[in-house]
Amino acid sequence: MLHRVEIEVEEVRGYCAAKYRKGDSFTLRGFYIEGEEDVRICLHALTAMATLLSPFSHGVPADQLGIGEGDVGRVQCPDPGPPLTCGGTVVFKLVRLKQKC
């Protein structure tokens, strides 16, 4: 059984080119990402979390993946920000929600 995973912007350090702001969110439901009609999914951020989302949504605890504890994990965008780039990095909080039968 796949679990839903809520993905929320927890922190923005510097400038985010995707214009993420603290509190923005979207959901992984099965193999699909859902959100508001105008949800923006940054390719860099998605790439950073892609290899973790599948096992996490299949029930592997965050601590076994090295991203947190239990049903809560964190990942960040790979953009290092100044002085190396003009951008910044975004920290995402992943919360696995139990599915109801």
pTM of the model: 0.89
- Which pLDDT score is estimated for 37? 76
Average pLDDT over residues 10-35: 90
Residue 30 above 70 pLDDT?
yes
Residues 17-43 as b or e (16 or more Cβ within 10 Å = b): ebebeeebbbbbbeeeeeeeeeeeebe
DSSP-H helix ranges across the chain: 43-57, 62-65
pLDDT in tens, 79-96: 988 889 888 999 999 999
Q: What is the dihedral of CA 75, 62, 27, 86, to 10 degrees?
A: 0
Classified as helix, coil or strand, 11 is strand
Four-CA torsion 30, 37, 16, 77, nearest 10 degrees: 0
**How is residue 25 written in tokens?**
């969110």
pLDDT at site 82: 85
pLDDT of residue 100: 59
